[in-house]
């Protein structure tokens, strides 16, 4: 299936805008602990590659705009590099989930939804670890306490996004082969 912005459904556009707005609010509340793994998990489960990437990049970009524009993140090489690492981590997490869901299409969402979160969070943290290792502040940023806090934020956000989609009824649908083309 080939997406284009012209073909995005109204519901998809609304969901992207809504998740961006939630990302902005989450960025105010959690700063660097934005729930990007949660967004990657749901997007990888429910959306085509192009639509999901649009959602993940929009959530990441919203977080960066709030951080640098309003929370006054330091404008240093390391801070910009961390921002890029976070974005790359979210994209790779989405791609990993998207690939895993493509292989698990016949499984129940009761199995695949928790698995998407585990895959997204593990890949997100692994890529951050690899990318962040040479950067200043990596010891503190990748400490057990911080990773646990990021996990809590992402798990709560994942649950919240699932409730949101359940209430709305149009974001997460059973996966079909055409959704993951």
Residues near 66 by beta carbon (within 8 Å), at least 6 away in sequence? 24, 27, 28
Q: What percent of the chain has pLDDT over 70?
A: 84
Rg from Cα positions in the chain: 16
| pLDDT for position 37 | 96
Cα 161 from Cα 165, distance rounded (Å):
6
User: What does the pLDDT look like over 92-105, one tens digit per residue?
Assistant: 999 999 999 988 88
User: What does the pLDDT look like over 103-117, one tens digit per residue?
Assistant: 888 888 888 899 999
Q: Is the pLDDT of residue 25 over 90?
A: no
Q: What does the block give as tokens for 120? A: 């997204």
* pTM, to two decimals: 0.83
| pLDDT for position 167 | 72
2 vs 25 pLDDT, higher one? 25
């Amino acid at each position: 299936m080939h997406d284009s912005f012209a073909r995005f459904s109204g519901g998809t556009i609304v969901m992207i805008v809504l998740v961006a707005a939630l990302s902005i609010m989450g960025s105010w509340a959690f700063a660097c602990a934005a729930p990007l793994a949660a967004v990657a998990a749901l997007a990888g489960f429910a959306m085509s590659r192009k639509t999901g990437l649009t959602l993940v990049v929009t959530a990441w970009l919203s977080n960066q705009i709030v951080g640098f524009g309003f929370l006054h993140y330091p404008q240093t090489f390391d801070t910009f590099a961390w921002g890029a690492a976070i974005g790359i981590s979210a994209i790779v997490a989405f791609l990993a989930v998207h690939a895993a869901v493509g292989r698990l299409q016949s499984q129940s969402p009761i199995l695949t939804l928790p698995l998407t979160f585990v895959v997204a969070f593990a890949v997100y943290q692994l890529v951050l670890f690899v990318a962040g290792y040479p950067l200043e502040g990596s010891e503190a940023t990748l400490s057990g306490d911080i990773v646990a806090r990021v996990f809590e934020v992402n798990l709560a956000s994942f649950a919240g996004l699932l409730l949101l989609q359940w209430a709305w009824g149009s974001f997460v649908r059973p996966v079909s082969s055409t959704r993951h083309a």
